[in-house]
Structure 1
């Protein structure tokens, strides 16, 4: 896991001083982690020994080692598809089909291990709230998954919308976002500035953000109610979206099971509509 993901996973087990350090790090990622021990301790309102205990608890022997790994995380986060393509040429030449499936399988396994069950359930609770409208949107490649998820949930629960059209129309669609609504946003590296800004505007309108992202975490994570990171790196030109799609399907299935009675009623109504149209009635 990336350092940021490690810290998020450990938050529930950290003692008070170290938890303050974790919050300071997450709120000021990545710059504060590249500063001195004294600066991180000062920002968190704690001591240098507490910072050292914090990095040791994460499994690092020293603060310089912690920073080296953090720099690697940031470099990986910022790599363009072109840079990843150049790097992929240095990998041993395996049969393309087997190598691709092996990478995807590894991503699914790593995502499952890294995702806390409590966060998954918290996401389901948000999506099961019928009083709230659910608004879906993703980035250049991930919006297809957002639309796919919205299309399924629209059948099993009311008040589901997918933000459509060009980004210039998103502000118009914000008019229908109400306090307490849920915004499901997909954003993976290289994070889209317009999508990040939309997340901020959603929060200003008091919507609750469910973010589905990568291990390095989109900036939207700063204001999200629930964050579900998926492993996307395949050591290939493009990141893989398979883990994001698998997570979306797991959420769809969980919500359908949690609301089985109302979901069946809506599905039966939809079948009746289809049948009436088909029969000409």
Structure 2
């Protein structure tokens, strides 16, 4: 049975201007989330994590799935400045209909293969992988990728943070990124050294932080230290309800669903590749020179085995 909205759920009478795109809707919801009442938090959480359902389900079905009343969804829409729930839903419909940029054909091919084999685990993991990456390549994400690349290129120093399940993401970003941008540094936080490692980062610097639920306390602490020093945060996480989101200059939410027992990092790794590619593509010529020098040094040191 759904709980009725208590009077404490009443929202301020000041009506903001309705956001024009899904990314703006998500950012406003994430910013408002900590201050919402319990019922509105349930509604906001469902909206953030189920954009396709919001786009095409009836308001009653979405309310039932979110375990709130239909009026709570209406109130949430008005909280963002929309005149009606239908106007709110149209933003989701436009974004979802735009769809992924290129990967739907490959996903369809994978589903076709499912009818030709009985190895369902293999196919389920592959299906989830294609879906996760497909959700990454949208117009909204493309704009944020460009903004993030420009932010990284302007930075004097770049700290990269990610522990436990996202350490592989942080390491990959730092290792590959340093080939072109030597000002990137992986933060390891060993032996209680977070404060020491992050102390040099200030207003002209950027911190890139990775975290998926369950969120690592060390990552949250590292991000807090960097923000207190004035560094600009770029966050890669799994939902806008993540504790890393408040205060972030740019946030990417990546899908990590998988039948596997551990959250998938495939979308995060793909995002890293896109971000670093944009940096090299739109950065100064010196970045290309850095890559060339790195390759020359590695070959001169015998780091590669000849295939001839």
Counterpart of 2:121 in structure 1 is 96
| Structure 1, gaps ≥5 residues long | 1-14, 41-46, 61-92
Q: Structure 1 pair 33/111, CA: closer, same or farther in 2 (3 Å)? A: farther
Where relative contact order (Cα < 8 A, 6+ residues apart) is larger, the structure is: 1
Distance, in Å, in 2 between the alignment partners of 1:237 and 1:33 is 33
Counterpart of 1:172 in structure 2 is 196
Following TM superposition, by how much is the alpha carbon of 1:219 offset from its aligned partner in structure 2, in angstroms?
A: 1.3
Q: Does 1:112 align with 2:116?
A: no
Q: Structure 1 pair 26/167, CA: closer, same or farther in 2 (3 Å)? A: farther
Q: Secondary structure at the match of 1:141?
A: helix
| Structure 2, gaps ≥5 residues long | 1-14, 45-74, 91-117, 303-308
1:122 aligned to which of 147, 159, 164:
147
Distance, in Å, in 2 between the alignment partners of 1:101 and 1:163 is 32
TM-score, scaled to structure 1 = 0.68
Distance, in Å, in 2 between the alignment partners of 1:36 and 1:111 is 27
Following TM superposition, by how much is the alpha carbon of 1:262 offset from its aligned partner in structure 2, in angstroms?
A: 1.0
Q: Structure 1 pair 236/154, CA: closer, same or farther in 2 (3 Å)? A: closer
Counterparts of residues 242-257 of structure 1 (less than 5 Å): 242-257=266-281
Tell which deviates more after alignment, 228-237 or 152-161: 228-237
Q: Structure 1 pair 142/23, CA: closer, same or farther in 2 (3 Å)? A: closer
Counterpart of 1:193 in structure 2 is 217
State the aligned residue count: 224
Counterpart of 2:36 in structure 1 is 32
Identify the structure with the greater helix proportion.
1
1:163 aligned to which of 178, 182, 187:
187
Residue pair 2:125, 2:259 contacting (<8 A) in 1 also: no
Residue pair 2:145, 2:274 contacting (<8 A) in 1 also: no
Counterpart of 1:211 in structure 2 is 235
RMSD, aligned α-carbons: 3.3
Following TM superposition, by how much is the alpha carbon of 1:156 offset from its aligned partner in structure 2, in angstroms?
A: 0.6
TM-score, scaled to structure 2 = 0.63
